[in-house]
């Protein structure tokens, strides 16, 4: 893992937790910068130097959802939300606003490390795939791997990193069913957990961003099986 992947930002008002995580992650070669309120955290989050943002939900000033809203859902730095244990509403809200993944508090240090490494691995996979620039053009959607840009009917679509990777996978296998398990393993870099709605929410976000510019839905949900990106009349 390159040194560019080692700088992380944690936005959490639990100063003791931040201190513990900073010490623990430093043993794994990471540098963790911490902010203890949403306002100062947002200012740092705009900086593209970070490889990953760890974002708590409940904070003074601005909460985690408000920070995500301010980022506008088009940030390039992946965001791992830290939610209350068992609070599915927080998890769904975070994903709808553009978070890449979530982890419930309290969590094991090892689980946090595993999530961080999984996100950074998939970023590296995408970067490696960009060494040979490719372009996918299917059903009036153009995906440019060299720049990670997506256009629908010639209009630029702003996707988060995870949304882009899911769309790229679905387009690469257009007209074929791609299971949630496959998406979870290849994009989120983990096995699909029971009752995990992360994939559903990311696909829903992609669909919501494409539909205003398209006369038809390009993503079909196959109940119990997965998703299909439809080829339509543009081969």
Question: What is the per-residue pLDDT across 177-190, written as a single tens digit (0 to 9) for each?
Answer: 999 999 998 888 88
Q: Do the beta carbons of residue 91 and residue 83 sit within 8 Å?
A: yes
Taking the alpha carbons at both ends of the chain, their separation in whole angstroms is 38
Higher pLDDT, 223 or 19: 19
**pLDDT tens, residue by residue, 52-91:** 999 999 888 899 999 988 987 556 788 999 987 666 777 7
Instruction: Provide the token pair at 76.
Output: 């390039």
230 vs 137: CA distance, rounded Å: 12
Instruction: Give yes or no for a contact between 141 and 150, defined as CB atoms under 8 angstroms apart.
Output: yes
Supply the pLDDT for residue 129: 59
d(C-alpha 38, C-alpha 65), whole Å: 10
Task: Phi first, then psi: give them for residue 191, nearest 5 degrees.
Answer: -70, 150
Tell me, yes or no, if the pTM score tops 0.75.
no
CA dist., res. 110 & res. 211, Å (int): 39
pLDDT band at 1 (very low <50, low <70, confident <90, very high): very low
In the 8-state DSSP scheme, what is residue 154?
T
């Amino acid at each position: 893992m390159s040194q560019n992947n080692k700088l992380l930002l944690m936005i959490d008002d639990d100063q003791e937790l931040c201190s513990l995580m900073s010490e623990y992650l430093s043993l794994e070669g990471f540098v963790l910068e911490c902010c203890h309120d949403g306002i100062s955290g947002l200012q740092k989050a705009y900086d593209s130097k970070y490889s990953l943002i760890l974002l708590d939900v409940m904070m003074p000033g601005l909460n985690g959802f408000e920070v995500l809203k301010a980022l506008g859902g088009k940030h390039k730095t992946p965001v791992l939300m830290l939610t209350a244990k068992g609070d599915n509403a927080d998890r769904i809200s975070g994903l709808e606003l553009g978070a890449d993944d979530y982890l419930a508090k309290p969590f094991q240090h090892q689980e946090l490390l595993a999530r961080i490494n999984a996100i950074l691995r998939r970023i590296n996979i995408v970067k490696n795939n960009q060494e040979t620039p490719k372009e996918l053009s299917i059903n009036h959607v153009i995906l440019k791997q060299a720049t990670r840009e997506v256009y629908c009917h010639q209009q630029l679509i702003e996707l988060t990193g995870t949304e882009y990777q899911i769309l790229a996978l679905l387009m690469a296998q257009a007209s074929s069913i791609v299971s949630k398990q496959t998406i979870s393993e290849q994009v989120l870099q983990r096995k699909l957990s029971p009752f995990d709605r992360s994939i559903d929410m990311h696909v829903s976000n992609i669909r919501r961003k494409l539909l205003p510019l398209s006369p038809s839905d390009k993503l079909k949900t196959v109940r119990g099986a997965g998703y299909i990106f439809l080829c339509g009349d543009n081969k």
